[in-house]
Amino acid sequence: MDMLVHQDALPPQALTHADTGAAPDAVPPARSPISPHPPQGGPGDPPVVTVRKPIGPEHDLTVAWVARSFGPGWASEVRVALDPRPVTLFVAVGSYPADPAAFAAQAGVPPDGTTTERAAQPSQAPALLGFACYDATARGMVGPIGVADAARGRGVGAALLRACLRDMHAAGYAYAVAGGVGAPGFFRRVAGAVEIPDSSPGPYAGMLRYGPD
Ligand SMILES: CC(C)(COP(=O)(O)OP(=O)(O)OC[C@H]1O[C@@H](n2cnc3c(N)ncnc32)[C@H](O)[C@@H]1OP(=O)(O)O)[C@@H](O)C(=O)NCCC(=O)NCCS
């Protein structure tokens, strides 16, 4: 099922960039603050999540993380979104969760911790918590979007989706289509998305899929 987001019908805060001071990505105090800038806080400060576009050295790591967390199909779409300049992909980076064991389990890190990917290291160093992209499945489509299990329910997904919609709005898109939606309530809640009738299988008709190896 596909869903339609009417950009002009979004609440104003959903389309205002955080740098204007309106801080659209700020979430209620009970949640982690979402910042458009790298964390500046010191020890003891609440965890900060940054939603931004990845820079070049982070591209391969992002693709690998998405492949591991969400599978090769979404990783393929992430590669597409990393191709244009500027890229059409946002990542959420933060220090949450702080518990090394939980994070290692979430990230699929072997017990001995051997990995070269910083995103998979249990530490207070920046870690990849989620991603969202657009113009990846097809032009005008938003998604896929995914947040690490351990970081869900904290406003990270909403911040990522809003970042994509702001970018699409700035690029002149009047609508965004979320394809093959697996979490319709999320898109309804964050972006007022409505179901597109008869939209399944939509653009995915006849799509090649990975089989068992
Ligand atoms: C869907 C997903 C991205 C949500 O990320 P998240 O960081 O947990 O979402 P948020 O905390 O920002 O939630 C924002 C709002 O949407 C709601 N919400 C989140 N997931 C929801 C769901 N599956 N169904 C209904 N509402 C949902 C939250 O309750 C919250 O509402 P609130 O503003 O009233 O508190 C995440 O659960 C995920 O990665 N799921 C697996 C991948 C997936 O299904 N992606 C979508 C493919 S179409």
Q: Whose CA is nearest to atom 13 of ligand 1?
A: 155
Sequence-distant (≥ 6) Cβ neighbours of residue 160 within 8 angstroms: 51, 90, 92, 130, 131, 132, 145, 147
Rounded Cα gap, residues 161 and 151, in angstroms: 15
Q: Is the CB of 87 under 6 A from ligand 1?
A: no
What pTM, to 2 d.p., does this model score?
A: 0.82
- C-beta of residue 14 within 8 angstroms of C-beta of residue 162: yes
Pocket flag, ligand 1, residue 183 (CB < 6 Å): yes
Say how far apart CA 86 and CA 206 lie, in whole Å: 30
pLDDT tens, residue order, the chain (213 aa): 999 999 887 766 665 544 333 333 433 333 445 655 544 555 555 458 999 999 999 999 999 999 999 999 999 999 999 999 999 999 999 964 445 555 555 554 444 434 444 444 444 678 999 999 999 999 999 999 999 999 999 999 999 999 999 999 999 999 999 999 999 999 999 999 999 999 999 999 999 998 887
Nearest CA to ligand 1 atom 24: 185
**Order of strands across the sheet that contains 175-178:** 34-35, 49-52, 89-94, 127-134, 141-147, 175-178, 3-6, 194-195
Residue 155 CA, closest ligand 1 atom number: 12
Helices (H), 88-155: 100-107
Atom of ligand 1 nearest to the CA of 181: 48
Cα angle 6, 87, 163 (rounded to 5 degrees) comes to: 40
Residue 186 alpha carbon to ligand 1 centre in Å: 5
| Ligand 1 closest atom vs CA 146 | 39
Backbone angles phi and psi of 89, in degrees to 5: -140, 140
Position 203 scores a pLDDT of 93
What is the per-residue pLDDT for 55? 97
The pick from 4, 147, 149, 186 for probing ligand 1's pocket by mutation, whose C-beta has the most ligand atoms within 8 angstroms, reads 186
